[in-house]
Structure 1
Amino acid sequence: MRNITMTGTLAGLVAAGAAQAADVTVKAPRLPPAETSWVPHSGFFVGIGGSANTLDFGTQNVYAVGTSDVFTNGVLTSSGSAVGPATLYPDDRAQIAFSAQGGYFSRFSGSDWLWGAKFGYSYLGTSSNIRAALLPQVGSFTPTGTSTVVPFTGNALVQSYQIHIDHQMTFVPFIGHAFDRGFVYLGAGPTLTRIRTDLNGLIGFADLNGNRTDVSGAPINLTSKSWVLGGAAMVGATYFLDPTWFVDVNYTFAMTENNTANYASPFTNPNGTGGTTNQGTMVGTAAARTQTQAITATINKLF
């Protein structure tokens, strides 16, 4: 009888425990939501900022040609010319510049890889100046009515030889990889650079009979301007401050094609040796490649 009572008591306790357990709801632990990337699937963007630049103006290969006719009392008494190459080495420059950009990017379907392209602009506005540049020349003249050729040497003096780089534009297609808060990328594309070369205070001299003679007279100023094509390579990274604003920092190396500047100007020097008048032309070229390296930072708005 006692065993039956104990068995009944245990059964009752088990049943009560089971009933109580049935009233308890077991909840699984709550996991934090999965972190998602702030880099959208695609978008257009525009941005402004600044850049730190170093500019290498290249080796200037200059070639000058001078021609001259000498008149005495209005009568042609001799004709001559002088030519010569010269190599000039302008100093490099460092410059902080205003920069702007705009572009588009898009992810590949189902991937963190992306592609895009962007247009960039910088106003460099800097120049390098070589003072008192000498352009060596060798020439000859022939007195009128004779076949006697008289050789001579000389120099064309440029009081100030200046190379300016103002505007630079880039168009860079790129490929990149997205992360949680941004993406890294690299690309390459064409550039367009505005270059101006000035030869200020150009005078042609000849060494005649041991005397240095001013052939061209008053100083001449020559200018050549051109838009020059080139290429650029770029590597960069972005960081999204929120889903629509991001910071972009990139390094760019750019080089122009070999740019040839052309010059030509007539001259008249009424104060030639022995009361003569010299009339002629100053013609020349200057060729060089320029290089720029830039670290650019911009704040950008995504649309």
Structure 2
Amino acid sequence: MADAADTVPRPLETEGPRGPWDRVRAELSDTGTVVMFGRVPAWRPHADDAALLRPLLGRDWPRYESLSQPRMRERFAASRLLVRHAVAAVIDTAAELVDLAYQPGGRPYVRGCDQIDISLSHTEEMMVVGITRKGRIGVDVELADRRMAGTGSESQTCTPYERARLDASDPAARNDLLVRLWTLKEAYSKALGQGLRFRFTEFGFALEPRGANGARLVRPDGSRIGGTEWRFATFAVDGGRYVVSTAVYDAGFGEVADLSVLTALDEGLLDALLGVADGG
């Protein structure tokens, strides 16, 4: 049986700013990775009061203000609130103190906190956030019934090996398999980051049976790519309405016992900061 730290954990549901964050912290401690999902209505800001919302959105405030459509503004704010509260829970700080920033390609990261890597995905009313202390993470979410079969997706997305496996599968399962492959490739691309992107037809996945959730990275001809650093999985969430895929890269950083921002700071610097805060 695989050790818990060698598996990709099943996504946990969040019910709004109240969490439950104890489960999130426990998952990250046990496995090194945690994936959370939440629905936009549960994370919708309760008021448009700029004085309340602006501190929580931080650097995202100008972009939020630039969005003209109410639904886009709502989903944007909800997804960033989910990220900030999730990060705040695992590094033991307040959500408004999480400094969320973006790399040139749009990949989010937490400024001043390189102990963790984060990833965000959303579609319709569903949002997913992944956090790992292992190295790199990518997450992707898609509607389980999104129509992909018969739309040309196979030729644009799949390797020869994957197309052969699709052709040999039950026709009724073809669309389900395509959605799983698509979200895995999106998650893997996000985990790789900017400089290493390549076409989806240049790498593939060997899917385990749906109940097993796992997948292996393979070459276009189906031969396995060596190494054990990557872990992949797909899960059905929200009663099977959505598919969530996760890609995690273990960079070999070792165990991090405490991610709290207080213990991560140098003691002398911390004393100085507290002295300033106290007016000393």
Shorter-chain TM band? under 0.3
With normalisation by structure 2, the TM-score equals 0.18
With normalisation by structure 1, the TM-score equals 0.18
Structure whose residues are more often helix by fraction: 2
Structure number with the bigger relative contact order (C-alpha 8 A, sep ≥ 6) is 1
